Chains A and B, each alone.
Chain A
Amino acid sequence: MALLDLDPEVVATARRLAAAAAAPVVEIARSHTTVSVERATLRLAGITGADSTHRAGDVPWVNRVVDAVVEHCGLEHGVSLPVFHALREHDLGSLTELAEATAAGQVRYTLPTGRDAVRAAKAARAAVAKGLRTVDRNRAQRDKLVARLGDPPRRPWIYLIVATGDIDEDVVQAANAARAGADIIAVIRSTGQSLIDYVPEGATHHGFAGTYATQENFRIMRAAMDEVSKEVGRYVRVTNYASGLCMPEIAVLAGLQRLDMMLNDSMYGILFRDINPIRTFVDQRFSRQVHARAGIIINTGEDNYLTTADAVDAAHTVTVSQLLNEHFAHEAGLPDPLLGLGHAFEINPRVPDSFRLELAHALLARELFPDAPLKWMPPTKHMTGDVFNGYLLDGFFNLAGVLTGQSILLVGMMTEAVVTPFLSDRDLALANVRYVLDAAGGLAEDFRPAPDGLIVKRAHQVLGEAVDLLGRIVDDGLLDAIARGTFGLMKRPADQGRGADGVVAKAAGYLNPASDLLDEGAEK
């Protein structure tokens, strides 16, 4: 359905440049590890729970263990060898016992050598493989449920957010939303969870403008939506956020609890949370490998650039980021059907022809990534509190979505930026989507933008600007481009930002059975 007549040569050039820009960063990601990657590995190996006696409150056991390894023998060889060596040396029955002994100061971690190292490596691989088999089973279970209950009847899938702060209230809201037509439920995280360097434990009831992502909260929501799926006769997908300082761990927990989609952008944390760029790229690669294994669709966050930069002037930065996200995702083993690249309807409605420009940008994304489940994000920046006008704008957003064949539609709320949505706001928003889908769902079939019209020309222009920018990024290096404020106008130098002290260059004998099993696609 090529409506834009994009030059395949230009598209190939764009992809080649994106790969070239990403290559040095991939190399950095491969040659470093982080505290969170190591903690994620231990979570796959079976450590759960937290030290509730610590003076700072509940500290997850994985944090206690990794912190101790860092202190005793450093992280450059990975956490697996010292931990499984200590497990055997102290003759402990489980990793949790080892964690308790660590907290009590009874364990001194050392790097094993010779036969000890071989034995520790074997034990670590067996333990991590067991965790990955749970992830594999969950993937198979999802496939089974989708086969039995079915996917949503039509595209785009309808994506709705709940954010009460209390997982029990979230379940109520999510169930109502699913009954009213939502295909995907996203639980927004508590403000600031991105910046805490541990994953909270247990069911939580007091988030700030969102609910903490915890393994237990994941389990509760997935179980509740399994029930609702049976009731509504389609598989309701559950979404959370693999972002922030604990990105790899959250990805593992999502795989262990059969979440279906995860927000997982390659640069969002750097730009909008001031997380260290190297930390982010290392964590991102591991988490994407986990998502690939778990069959989880990732959602990227290009929409955010347009909330800080102008949606017309910066349109090409979205395309550039999509191409980079695509490359990083492919490199980590994610196929196109799991690539929910993001973009948004954020052009100022006062700009003449704003809707036509939106169509141009949306079509460009659609045609550049024909097999990716694109995520179409609603207006936020120009929602003013005039809820009536907001409802109209959301209607146009929905129309642009169906007209350009978007895959996942995040439902816009007319009360965006006013209050957290009322029950009725959500209901009205879904009615808006249903009306547009019913009235114009097939309109794409009749939609042929004029070959020399504004839409086609604009799409070509944005792609051209994206290629130019990619060329400059290749010349200067992606990390420098980020440092100079290329994306979302945020300047983030590679040696600054949060979590930089949790990044470690791998030594020659580095071992991580999770990375090995993910690289090999092996089960044992």
Chain B
Amino acid sequence: MNLKQLLSTIKIEADYISLREVKTTSSYVSVRNEVLEGVGSLIDHGLMVEVMIKGQLAYAATNSFMPSDVQKAAEVARDSALAAHRFGLYHFNENVRPKIVGEYKSPATKGIEHFHPGDLTDLLMSLTTAMKIHDHVISRSASYTIAEIDSHFVATNGSDVKQSIVRSNIGLSATATSEKGTQKRTYGDDKSAQVGVELIDKNKFLSVANKLATEALMLLEAEECPSETMDLLLAPDQMFLQIHESIGHPLELDRILGDERNYAGWSFVKPSDFGNLRYGSSLMNVTFDPTVIGQNASYFADDIGAVATREYLIRDGILERGLGSLESQKRLNLPGVSSQRATSWNRAPIDRMANVNLEAGSSSFDQMLGSIERGVFMQTTRSWSIDDYRNKFQFGCEHAQLIENGKLTKLLKNPNYRGITAPFWNQLKMVGDISTFEVGGLTNCGKGEPNQVIFVGHASPACLFSNIEVFGGGK
């Protein structure tokens, strides 16, 4: 029985019913120190029933597709809606569940059927072997993961959306240890994309593997990052985190509404800030864009059927729009985006990021470097922490280089920096051009009660910030 037929079998009194089926199929292989560490696969398949009765939404999830079980889930959702109605925070109407029909297929050309664990194990073995350049490189890891997520959303208003997404990525890491300490270099945690097995380019990743091991070794001999206030040049692979934590999360409308106060937290952004707040310098342009071909969180529509469109969140440094669903938009009377997303079939959709990208500017890397008298160039996220209002942050990186008189000079280890969100973005001095621009994606954005983890995308050029407090490791 297809999903539309299943919907038609549900017999309950409700103003609106939707079914959202999600099937995730994934496979992985990982190798450490030239030993196969794990091979596996996952099938996760289930169904979320959503009902609206007198404006009260309620959900029931089941991994059974038997009509009797789906009917039972619908009845449970109905009963919950009726029980919760007198306590409902907001009573919605059909406007938050628009009729939508469409399909989406990610651009991957080689899907999970091309996952051949034997061949991939050989590849990953060669990558860890490429990291074996010195006895000090004691841990050498390589992994590959591919996931295929097929979702189908139908509703009593005639909505019918099928989306099929293939994502994959390679992760690499090298840990070097000596009497001088331990240093680790990684690749790939932020590079998930809507790409299949065609991602694999052995020569490219051999080169990356060798570079990681070499840098981990060199970092053992590096000086500690100095503690002082100076210019900070961030590579795209650190900008992704900076955008995620200090732009993406504070702009989520459910945080601004207070729904997340008990867990992920609140936001320093107030409803009255939209259209007014100078979030950053005039060089700052940030978009919500689930239409970027191949980026990690591209899609046709979110999980309640709102069509995905590209929108400016911040334009010329001024805050324009938040990351909020039709429900949050209605509650706040503010514009938002198509971002009501769920981890999978077993969670109700909430306000999330999708692709949140910092648009490229006009400065070349050399121009930015040349403008710095004394500063630090940092790459690759190592540590992150930010407060529940998304103000005071402290981030650490794996790799840094001192910049003196416009040139990269000494290698530095254990680099960290800290700041406060809006002042930090207002110290954005130069934005890299398209030659410095990279597209990335994270798979582990956590939020919500019950907890949900979801994949998001970020893209950014390298960026230069002035007068930032940087510091190193040690006591």
Partners in one complex: no
Spell out B's residues near A (CB within 8 Å): none
